[in-house]
Amino acid sequence: MKQLSVTVARKVKEAEGIASFELVSAEGKVLPPFSAGSHIDVEIRPGLTRQYSLCNDPTEQHRYLIAVLRDPHSRGGSAALHDVVREGDTLAISEPKNHFPLVQAKRSLLFAGGIGVTPILCMAERLAQSGNSFEMHYCSRSAERTAFRKRITLADFASQVSFHYDDGTPEQKLDLTHLLARPQAGTHLYVCGPSGFIDFIIQAAKSHGWQSEQLHLEYFGALAQDTSADRDFQVKIASSGVLYTIPAGKPVIEVLASQGVNIPVSCEQGVCGTCATRVLDGVPEHRDVYLTDAERARNDQFMPCCSRSKSPMLVLDL
């Protein structure tokens, strides 16, 4: 995918531990269009690329806006953006990609957990502009940690948004039983945030009879995995017939790259889908959060950055 060169026009503290970055074309050009739910790949430094959702008005083409949570468990991405990147700096990014799009629906129910507000806010603004029915629920630890609170409270759709704080009073806490008890075919649910938050919302929805096709989600990080039972397996490259052994504890992309077989990769956590590789034979052990349940069941592709194999060998279309 084509890379774009952008300049950090503004860096703003949006909430405790959260900064936004306004990115404009370094060459003064119009930026490629995007839709609500889109994200961009940001090259923090050579070899370190991370994905961030766009959270400005999708009709804008003079800028992209991202917001980044300083994660104490970060592997370098969020800390570098917070501590190293300054206004005036130039970054390399991808064109926008959307794996979390809005669909046509009579009504939309939006759930944001913490920094997961970025794509959800963009969706709310798009739905409001188009006159579609929706309500948004924004959950965060406290008002001080709630990014874009002022922007939301001043918006025309502010009455359609409810804030829920962990340190708030009981009556303002999220009541999923009330919200999800009566699923309707014309309503679609969107959720983004930490994996535990997403799982909580999705499991509650399914327990109340919501159908999988009504549920849309986007994780911001990989799920924790139990790797204690990992075993060696083999990968066969279909074009050459060469076999490679993938030891326990090493990802497929690392082993193949060391042998000169390079697969495009970005997040390295099974979130972005960049490294999706076709499987011609064998049964993958899916550990990504990108593929849908239906896509996983077909076993015709997998994410070699994090997934492994249930069968002794996988034959890859490489």
Q: What is the pLDDT of residue 205?
A: 96
Q: What is the pLDDT of residue 180?
A: 95
- Matching residue, tokens 């390079």: 262
Question: In whole angstroms, what is the distance from residue 24 CA to residue 38 CA?
Answer: 17
Judged against a pLDDT cut of 60, whether residue 1 lies above it is answered with: no
62 or 75: which carries more pLDDT confidence?
62
31 confidence band (pLDDT: 50, 70, 90) = very high
Percent of the chain with pLDDT over 90: 74
Judged against a pLDDT cut of 70, whether residue 17 lies above it is answered with: yes
Task: Give residue-wise pLDDT tens across range 245-270.
Answer: 999 889 999 999 999 998 988 777 77
Q: Amino acid letter at 136?
A: M
Q: What is the pLDDT of residue 249?
A: 86
Specify which residues 94 forms β-bridges with.
3
Percent of the chain with pLDDT over 70: 95
Task: Give residue-wise pLDDT tens across range 104-143.
Answer: 999 999 999 999 999 999 999 999 999 999 999 999 999 9
Sign of CA dihedral 297, 298, 302, 307: positive
Question: In whole angstroms, what is the distance from residue 53 CA to residue 219 CA?
Answer: 11
Q: What is the pLDDT of residue 221?
A: 61
Judged against a pLDDT cut of 60, whether residue 310 lies above it is answered with: yes
- Give 13's DSSP letter: E
Across 281-291, average pLDDT: 89
**Residues in contact with 18: Cβ distance below 8 Å, sequence separation at least 6, in sequence order:** 67, 68, 69, 70, 115, 145, 147
Query: Are 101 and 36 a contacting pair, CB within 8 Å?
Result: yes
Judged against a pLDDT cut of 80, whether residue 76 lies above it is answered with: no
Judged against a pLDDT cut of 80, whether residue 314 lies above it is answered with: yes
Question: In whole angstroms, what is the distance from residue 32 CA to residue 97 CA?
Answer: 10
**Residues in contact with 259: Cβ distance below 8 Å, sequence separation at least 6, in sequence order:** 244
CB-hemisphere CA count at 13 Å for 148?
A: 28
Q: What is the pLDDT of residue 272?
A: 74
Closest CA to 51 of 263, 302, 289, 221: 221
Give the chain's mean pLDDT: 91
Task: Give residue-wise pLDDT tens across range 189-231.
Answer: 999 998 889 999 999 999 999 998 999 998 766 555 667 788 9
Alpha carbon separation from 69 to 72, 78, 131, 186 (Å, rounded) = 9, 6, 31, 34
Question: In whole angstroms, what is the distance from residue 278 CA to residue 288 CA?
Answer: 15
105 or 77: which carries more pLDDT confidence?
105
Range in 57-71, 98-112, 258-272, 283-297 the model is least confident about: 258-272
Please report, to the nearest 10 degrees, the dihedral formed by the alpha carbons of residues 47, 218, 151, 90 taken in order: 10
Range in 14-28, 51-65, 211-225, 237-251 the model is least confident about: 211-225
Judged against a pLDDT cut of 80, whether residue 275 lies above it is answered with: yes
Which tokens go with 262?
Answer: 């390079």
Q: Which residues of 76-175 form beta strands (DSSP E)?
A: 90-94, 107-113, 133-140, 161-165
CB-hemisphere CA count at 13 Å for 161?
A: 23
